Chain A
Amino acid sequence: MTEKLLDIFLGEAQELIVEIEKAVLLLEQNQQDEHGISAIFRAMHTLKGSSGMFGFEAVSGITHHLESIYQDIRDGARAMDANVLAITLKTLDHLRNLMQDPHLGDAGVRANHEQLLTAILSLEDAHTSHHTANNTAPASANTAQQRSYYIYILPHPAILRNGTNILYLVDDLLALGEGTALPFFHQIPELAAIAPDTSYMGFEVVLATTKKEEDIQEVFMFVESDCDITIKSLADGNILSAIGKHEQIQNRDVAAALGYEGIKALAAHPKKKISKADKARSAGINNAASIRVSSERLDDLMNLVSELVTTQARLSLFSGENDSTELSNISENIEKITRRLRDNAFTMSLVPLESIVVRFQRLVSDLSKELHKDIEFTAVGMDTKIDKSIIEKLTDPLLHILRNSIDHGIENPEERKRRNKSPKGKLQLRSYYSGGNVIIEIADDGAGIDLTKVKEKAIAKGLIDGHAALSEKELTDLIFLPGFSTASVITGVSGRGVGMDVVRRNVSDIRGEIDIATRAGEGTTFIIKLPLTLSILDGLLVKIGDTDFILPLTSVAKCYEVKTAALESSFNQLIQLDEKRLPFFFLRNDFAITDHKPELSQVILVSYDGQQVGLVFDRIEGEYQAVLKPLGEFYQRQNEFSGATILGNGNVALVLDPNKLIGKLIDHYKNQQRYEYAG
C-alpha cells in the first residue's frame, strides 16, 4: 500500500471523526435530530469500511458496534440517550489515539480500548436487537474425492436487466472442475417478441469436481434470487466420460432440459467404453436410446415441417386480420408448437464437429514437422453440432487458418525460448454455442499479428491512405482485404497464395462472420461465428415492384432513404452517404423490373470485400425469419439467389446472396465497359 493512500485514509478518518463530533454536540442539544443521527451512522459506517480495508482492525471493530447502535436508533429500534452520546464522545477520543497506534501497542491504549468495547457491547446487549457476528465460512478441507453433480440453472427472464451474464455463471461452474454445460431454451417467444434484455435460456451442467457443494453454491451468490437453481449429487467420481459421448446428449433437443433423472439415467446406462480408434466405427453401433433414420426420410420430415411453418404463417396472418380472441389463441398455440417442432426437426440434421477434427490433427502434425515447430494441438467442444452442409464448407477455411497459425503464428522453439515462452506452442480449436450461433475459435499462443507492419504493408499496397487513423480493429481487418498477402507482412515467411480474403468469403458463403483478436507476442485467435443451420435465415424482407426479396441480416450494415430520381441520374454509380461516396447498384435496372417505380428508394449498405456497397430496393418490409428452399437445378446459374422462401401470404420471396450478386454485377459492368470502349 502506498504512503499516499495511507495519508488519504488518515486525513479522511480525521475528518470523519470531526464530523461525528460535531453531530454529537448538536445531538446533545436535541436528541431527536434525525440529520445528526444519520450523519453519525453514515460517517461511522464509512470509517468502519475504510479502516477495515487499511488494516486498522481495532478501529473497524469498535466502529462496527457503535454503528449498529446508531443504525437501531436511526431505524427507530431504540431511543437515543445521553449514555450513548457520552460513549460516542469517549470513543472519538480513543479513535484519535488509535489512528496513531492502530495495533494497540501502547498498554494504555489497549486498556482503554477494551474498556470502551465492553461498555459499547453492554449498551448493545442491554438492547434486544443483536447483530450477528461475521460469518465464519467453514474452511473447506478438501478431500480430493471427486463427485459428479447435476446443476440446473433456469435464470428468470429479467435476469439480464441487472447486468448478469449467464454464461459467466456457467464458466465459473466449469472452472470448479471438469464438466459439460447443456443449454436449453425456455419459453422462447415469437421472433418479433424476443426482447434483447430477456433471458430465454437455461443450462444443465454436469460437473465433476473435488469441491464441495457450498463452493458450487457460491458461484450463484449474486443470482440466488434471480434463478431457479438445483444442485444435486449424481454419483461418486467422474461420470462425464460415461455420459459425455452419450447419444442422448449428442442428439439432444435444445428445446427442453433433460432433467436430473434424465442425466442420471444416462449415467446409469453408459455406452461401453470405446477407444479412439473405435470411435469412427461406433457411428454404426445401434443404441437402444436412438434409432437410425435415412437422410431422405429426414429431408421429408423437414419439408413437411417447412410446409407447416408456411401454413402456420398464413394462419397467423389470417388471425391477425380477423378479430377473434379464440382464433388468435389457437393460432398462437399452433405457432409455439410449430416452432418447437421445427427446432426439433432441425436439430436432427445437425452433426458434431468431431467428424472433421481428424483431418485437422493430421494437418497439424504434418505441418509442424515440415516447418520444424513443436506444437500441442487440442480440440475442445467438438461435440458442438452444426448443419452438415455447413461443416462441409467449413473445412477449407479452417484448414487455411490452422495452416496460417502454424506457419506464421507460432514461433519456432528457439525463438519461443528467447521470448521466455515454453518451446512447445499451443494451438487450440474450440467450439461452443452462443445464442443461436455456433462459435469456432482457433487460438495460438504465437507471435501475434504485428499491426504496425500490417499498416505499413497496407499503405505500400495502396490499400489505405497513409494518413488514415485506424483503430486496432480496423487494422486487423485489413488482413481480410483482397490483395493483402498476410504472410510476408507478419513474419517474413513466404506466403502461400491464398489470402485471408478467400477465407472470409468462404465463411460468409455459409453466412458466418470472422473476427481476429491478436496480441503482439501473446498470440492470435480467429473467431468464426456461424448459424446453427443454413435452412433458417434471419433476413430483411424487401421489395422491388411486385417482387419480394430477402436479404440476410448478417450482411446488412445500414439503410438510407434516397430519391429514386437522384439514383437514376447518377452517371458514375456513386452516391454520397454520410460524407462517403459509395458505389451502388440500382437493382431495378439489373433485375429488369419495371412496375410500380417509387419516388423514394431504399439504399441498403452491405459489405463486399471489406468495402460498403449500396443495393437499391423500393421498400423495406421488415425482418423475416425465412425457411430456405432451394431454387433447384433450373436456376443453378442464378447463384446470386441462394434460395427462396414462402411468405405468410403464400408468395415466393427470393433470397439474395449479396456477395455473389455484387461480384456478378461488377463483372457484368466491367465487361460492358470493355465492350463500350472497344466499340
Chain B
Amino acid sequence: MSKTIVVIDDSESIRELVGLTLESAGYSVEKGIDGKDALRLFDNREVNLVITDLNMPHIDGIALIREIRKMEAYSMVPILVLTTESQAAKKEEAKAAGATGWIVKPFVAEKLLAVVQKVIR
C-alpha cells in the first residue's frame, strides 16, 4: 500500500508541483491550502508524512504542527516544513514546535524526494 502524504501550501502552484512530484514517485497525496484545511484532511485517516508551508493564512505552519502533535494518533508522524534560506530562525521555531525536518525552497524533484526519503521509508 502506498504511503499517504499530506501537502499543505497556500500556493496552488507549489502544492500541485509537490503533489505531482510525490505522486509520480508512487505516494498518494492529499492536498490542503492552509492549517485549517489540513486538520480537516486528517480526520483519522492514516497519514505517513505531512509537508507544510509555514506562511499561511488562518492557522499557520507552526500552529498546525503544534495542533498535529496534540493529536495522539499523529504525535509521531513525520512533518517536513517548506522554508526558504531567509528563514533560518523559522527552522528552529518549527523544530521546537515538533517538525521533523525541512525542505529549502526552491528545490528540484530529486531533492524533494531525497528529503522525503530521509524521514519515511
Q: A contacts B directly in the complex (CB < 8 Å)?
A: yes
| Residue-wise interface mask of B (39-81) relative to A, using a CB-CB cutoff of 8 A (1 in contact, 0 not) | 0000000000000010101000000000001000001111100
Other-chain contact of B13, A9, A64, A160, A226 (Cβ < 8 Å)? A9
Which B residues are in CB contact (< 8 Å) with A50?
Answer: 11, 13-14, 17
Q: A45-B55, A52-B105 are in contact. Are A64 and B86 (CB under 8 A)?
A: yes
Other-chain contact of B118, A12, A161, A222 (Cβ < 8 Å)? A222
Report yes or no: A49 in contact with B118, Cβ–Cβ below 8 A.
Answer: no
Other-chain contact of A53, B57, B79, B100, B107 (Cβ < 8 Å)? B107
Q: A60-B106, A64-B86, A172-B118 are in contact. Are A46 and B98 (CB under 8 A)?
A: no
Other-chain contact of B78, A8, A163, A221 (Cβ < 8 Å)? A163
A-B contact count, CB below 8 Å? 101
Other-chain contact of B106, A53, A68, A222 (Cβ < 8 Å)? A53
With CB as the reference atom, state the residue of chain B lying closest to A6: B13
Give min CB distance, B29 to chain A, whole Å: 14
Cα–Cα distance between A12 and B10 once the two chains are bound (Å): 10
Other-chain contact of A12, B12, B98, B100 (Cβ < 8 Å)? B12
Most chain A CB inside 10 Å of its own CB: which residue of B13, B14, B20, B78: B13
Report yes or no: A5 in contact with B16, Cβ–Cβ below 8 A.
Answer: yes
Task: Please report whether the interface of chain B is mostly helix, strand, loop or mixed according to DSSP.
Answer: mixed
Q: A163-B119, A172-B118 are in contact. Are A54 and B13 (CB under 8 A)?
A: yes
| Residue-wise interface mask of A (217-238) relative to B, using a CB-CB cutoff of 8 A (1 in contact, 0 not) | 0000110011000000000000
Which A residues are in CB contact (< 8 Å) with B120?
Answer: 165
For residues 41 through 57 of chain A, which have their beta carbon under 8 Å from a beta carbon of chain B? Answer: 41-42, 45-46, 48-54
Cα–Cα distance between A221 and B101 once the two chains are bound (Å): 8
Most chain B CB inside 10 Å of its own CB: which residue of A49, A165, A472: A49
With CB as the reference atom, state the residue of chain B lying closest to A52: B106
Q: A12-B12, A163-B79 are in contact. Are A222 and B69 (CB under 8 A)?
A: no
Other-chain contact of A168, B12, B82, B106, B118 (Cβ < 8 Å)? B118
**Is B1 located at the chain interface by the 8 A CB criterion?**
yes
Cα–Cα distance between A160 and B98 once the two chains are bound (Å): 10
Cα–Cα distance between A48 and B100 once the two chains are bound (Å): 24
| Residue-wise interface mask of A (154-180) relative to B, using a CB-CB cutoff of 8 A (1 in contact, 0 not) | 000000111111001001100000000
Give min CB distance, B22 to chain A, whole Å: 14
Q: A8-B12, A45-B55, A60-B106 are in contact. Are A161 and B17 (CB under 8 A)?
A: no
**Is A115 located at the chain interface by the 8 A CB criterion?**
no
| Residue-wise interface mask of B (80-110) relative to A, using a CB-CB cutoff of 8 A (1 in contact, 0 not) | 0010111000001001001111100111000
Other-chain contact of A48, B12, B16, B77, B84 (Cβ < 8 Å)? B84
Report yes or no: A222 in contact with B10, Cβ–Cβ below 8 A.
Answer: no
Give min CB distance, B67 to chain A, whole Å: 14
Report yes or no: A53 in contact with B119, Cβ–Cβ below 8 A.
Answer: no
Give min CB distance, A282 to chain B, whole Å: 37
Provide a sorted-by-A list of 5 A–B residue pairs whose CB atoms are within 8 angstroms.
A54-B13, A164-B100, A164-B119, A168-B121, A222-B101
Beyond A163-B77, A163-B78, 11 extra complex contacts between A and B, CB < 8 Å: A1-B17, A46-B14, A50-B14, A53-B13, A68-B86, A135-B85, A162-B98, A162-B100, A222-B100, A222-B101, A226-B95
Q: Which residues of B contact A (CB under 8 A)?
A: 1, 10-14, 16-17, 20, 53, 55, 57, 69, 75-79, 82, 84-86, 92, 95, 98-102, 105-107, 118-121
Nearest first, the 3 closest Cβ-Cβ pairs linking A and B are A52-B106, A222-B101, A163-B78
